[in-house]
Amino acid sequence: MSSSPAITRPPEQFEDLLDKRITVALAGQPNVGKSTVFNLLTGLNQHVGNWPGKTVEFKVGIYLHHGIAIEIVDLPGTYSLSANSLEERIARDFIIKEQPDVVVVVLNASALERNLYLVTELLWLGVPMVLGLNMVDVAKQQGIQIESHVLEAALGLPVVPMMASKNQGVRELMASVENLICDLSNYKPNMPTIREEQQAVVNELKQLITGLVPEPYLEDWVALKLLEGDEEITRIMQEHLADEQWTPIDHILSQNEDAVLAIASGRYAWIGRMMRAAVINPPRGQISLTDRLDRIATHPFLGLLLLIGIFGLIFWITFSLASPVQTWLDNVVINRSAEWIRQTLQGSPTWLSGLLADGVIAGAGTVLTLLPILVVFFTALSLLEDIGYMSRAAYVMDRFMHPMGLHGKSCLPLLIGFGCNVPSIMGARIIEGERGRILTILVAPLVPCAARLAILAFLTPLFFPGNPIFVSWVLVALNLIVLVIVGLVANHLFFHSEHMAFIMELPLYHLPNIRTIAMDVWQRCLAFLHNAGTLILLVSIAVWILASIPGPSIEDSILAGLGHQLEPLGRLMGLDWRMMVALLTSFLAKENTIATLGILFHNGNGMMTSTQSMISQIPPISALSFLVVQMLFVPCAATVAVMYQELKSWCWIFVSIGLLLVISFGFGIAIYQGSLLFNFIIHTLTA
């Protein structure tokens, strides 16, 4: 076994720590409890954002100990450090370019062999490492026993056993980190080896690149990555080297194109040797709790029933628990604060009170009233995620997602969409691969959100008193059918039906950790509030201005003018200008539709309420056409704002809006014109 070639940094003295900020990076594979460790270390001293220019979550926090502030950077969870995914590139770039003082690798003790694979990759980056052997309790339940000091001796790395979910071992972990920062003289990791055949090629490559590797990359690592066929490193070296320097390298690489598999096998062989003395595995044939639960949860039929049952329960809880709160907030808090603003600002110009009361409060404020619904929904989803169920839901749904060019994972954000499309679009981040993520975001607005379900619940009994529930179901089903068709077509059109690989770990079930769930819900709500406070607020103000100038009433506004201009289009769908304006205002927030219809159909003489006047003035076929268009209409402003945040491309947003405009108007026209044609035929036949 080769000795450590990479650590070149001199041991640092304790006094130096006070002068400069110490950075510790948290690395680890998915499902190792890394975020629990991060939350324990930093508490509320954390900041969540995005990696510059990327849609990968970046979490950084401060750990205070003995008056020293240590910056903790949570790297994205990755299985390896190849250039396969954005997350992997971000994680390795951070370590290579920012050179954290220590990298803490959180390991799942119940999946140690696979977890050490990441360690074999990290060791070649030459940063000091401490291993946090987490979930030793879960491993013990599985019958796996690990002698951490034996493992420590074999690897030459500090190994600290932990149970982060029970807040055990984290203090010892940080003590070990501090020891390493103060004194690197005893840090002598056992460097991982690969098979001799591949090592010989690596040596050959290393000779060819010696002195030619750009800073801050290490020669050993670059040679290994070249042999692995790493696209990013190959490109960097090809650009950096002259042609005559690159040609012999390229020649060697073309002779060893499938070395990646042999290198991985070599790494696992090394891991096997390191683990042999330290790990006692359970006897074969043991059936664990996870296996027993999975017999139902992953069964093609029973699993589907369970999924439907769980989500039915979540909807029921959400709407029976949070909907009354939302209605109360909307009726009492929003209306009263709007009233209060009008009264307080009586002396000031009317536009100011109008802007605040009808623009800011009614727009952004109404979006905020969705928060209770989201808190309940997020808590339920976060709980399911934490106990390990969500990956089972993805597994069960996989077979239904493939025709759309999506796979199981995409159904997770789409399910969130029934609550609100905003978090659903943010949730699409879990999908690896740009294509899958963009496609999921494109179809996500077609999932009918709570606001649209509320419109259905309000309008269908008015126009279809015979069977409102049946009509509602048909309309929801139509949305889902259109979702599937859009997915199919978009996949074919934009992504040429490229296959998206479904490879997903199903973690062991375990008890939920309240702290992790609470932090997760808190962070998601913060993100939602942040959107409501910025982009949604701006759009609310813009729409209010359009609806109020030049005044005095909405009938005379630019928005109404637009409605009149759109009347010829509306006529094709059987919609008058008021219904077109209702559609336009629903862009601000879907539930505005009801309010706008209420204002525009209110005929002033007090003889009829707005709803009576609607029933008398809108023929059923127009109402049906309106509901279909409304359900399929462009996403609301909040959703568009988040789509921009996630896609960073107006192009895709125009594609999405254009597509939904064409689809919704197309269905409206088809329904109305179809009924006219039908009537015409009936008339001619009976005449």
- Report the nearest approach of other proteins to the CB of residue 366 (Å): 40
- Minimum Å gap between C-beta 256 and other proteins is 12
Minimum CB distance to other proteins smaller for 129 or for 275 = 275
Distance separating alpha carbons of residues 19 and 486, to the nearest angstrom: 57
Pairing mode, strands 68-74 and 22-28: parallel
Site for other proteins in 183-242 (CB under 8 A): 228-229
- Asked if 290 is part of the footprint of other proteins (rule: CB under 8 A), the reply reads yes
CB of 55 to other proteins, least distance (A): 20
CA distance 562 to 579: 12
Smallest gap from Cβ 489 to other proteins, in A, equals 21
Smallest gap from residue 196 Cβ to other proteins (A) = 17
Nearer Cβ to other proteins (291/556): 291
Q: Which residues in the 381-440 window bind other proteins by CB under 8 A? A: 391, 394-395, 398-399, 402, 407-408
Burial status of residue 32 (CB atoms within 10 A of its CB: 0-12, 13-18, 19 or more): buried
DSSP reduced 3-state for 497: coil
The yes or no reply on residue 492 touching other proteins (CB under 8 A) is no
* Contact string 53-92 vs other proteins (x = CB under 8 A): --------------------------xx-x-x--------
Q: Are strands 129-134 and 46-50 parallel, antiparallel or unpaired?
A: unpaired
| Contact (CB, 8 A) for 154 and 277 | yes
**Which of 457, 478, 462, 466 is closest to 623 using CA atoms?**
462
Of the candidate spans 105-113, 341-349, 575-583, 597-605, the one that interacts with other proteins by CB under 8 A turns out to be 105-113
- Using the contact rule CB under 8 A, the part of the chain among 177-185, 291-299, 595-603, 617-625 near other proteins is 291-299
Tell whether residue 250 is a contact of other proteins (CB under 8 A). Answer: no
* Cα-to-chain-centroid distance, residue 640: 16
Minimum Å gap between C-beta 29 and other proteins is 8
Helix (H/G/I), strand (E/B), else coil: 649? coil
If the CB atoms of residues 43 and 229 are measured against other proteins, the closer one turns out to be 229
Q: Which one among 184, 212, 485, 504 touches other proteins, defined by CB under 8 A?
A: 504
Give, rounded to a whole angstrom, the gap between the first and last alpha carbons of the chain. Answer: 97
Report if residue 35 touches other proteins, rule: CB under 8 A: no
| DSSP strand pairing (22-28 vs 57-65) | unpaired
Choose one: 56-64, 161-169, 293-301, 323-331; the region binding other proteins (CB under 8 A).
293-301
Chosen residue from 6, 182, 264, 478 binding other proteins by CB under 8 A: 264
Q: Give the count of residues interacting with other proteins (CB under 8 A).
A: 44
* Strand 102-108 versus strand 129-134 pairing type: parallel
Residue 114 interacts with other proteins (CB under 8 A): yes or no: yes
Four-point Cα dihedral 76, 77, 79, 84, nearest 10: -30
Q: Which of 311, 315, 464, 502 binds other proteins (CB under 8 A)?
A: 502
Long-range contacts of 260-266 (CB under 8 A, 24+ apart): 260/227, 260/228, 260/229, 262/194, 262/195, 262/197, 262/198, 263/194, 263/195, 263/198, 263/224, 263/227, 263/228, 264/117, 265/195, 266/193, 266/194, 266/195, 266/198
* DSSP designation for 89: H
Torsion-angle region of 113 (φ positive above 0: left; ψ -120 to 50: alpha; else: beta): alpha
Choices 207-215, 500-508, 645-653, 660-668 (CB under 8 A): range interacting with other proteins: 500-508
Nearer to other proteins, 78 or 326 (CB): 78
Q: Among 56, 182, 212, 260, which residue sits at the site for other proteins (rule: CB under 8 A)?
A: 260
13, amino acid identity: Q
Residue span binding other proteins (CB under 8 A) among the ranges 18-26, 63-71, 369-377, 497-505: 497-505
Please tell me whether residue 484 binds other proteins under the rule CB under 8 A.
no
400 vs 678 by CB, closer to other proteins: 400
Strands 159-161 and 68-74: what pairing? unpaired
Residue 556 in contact with other proteins, rule: CB under 8 A: no
Using CB atoms within 10 A of its CB, is residue 49 exposed (0-12), middle (13-18) or buried (19+)? exposed
Is residue 111 a contact point for other proteins (CB under 8 A)?
yes
Among 183, 505, 558, 682, binds other proteins (CB under 8 A): 505
In this chain, which of 39, 42, 110, 353 binds other proteins, going by CB under 8 A?
Answer: 110
Closest contact distance (angstroms) between CB of 92 and other proteins is 13
Question: 467-476 as b/e, with b when 16 or more CB fall inside 10 Å?
Answer: ebeebbeebb
Using CB under 8 A as the binding rule, whether residue 495 contacts other proteins is answered as no
- Residues paired with residue 130 on neighbouring β-strands, in sequence order: 104
Min CB(671)–other proteins separation in Å: 36
Only segment of 162-170, 255-263, 532-540, 617-625 that touches other proteins (CB under 8 A): 255-263
Determine the Cα–Cα distance for residues 313 and 317; give it in Å rounded to an integer.
6
From candidates 74, 101, 220, 294, binder to other proteins by CB under 8 A: 294
Instruction: Please state, in angstroms and rounded to a whole number, the distance separating the CA atoms of residues 247 and 292.
Output: 56
Using CB under 8 A, list all residues that contact other proteins.
79-80, 82, 84, 110-114, 117-118, 142, 144, 228-229, 258, 260-261, 264-265, 268, 281, 290-291, 294, 298, 300, 391, 394-395, 398-399, 402, 407-408, 499, 501-508
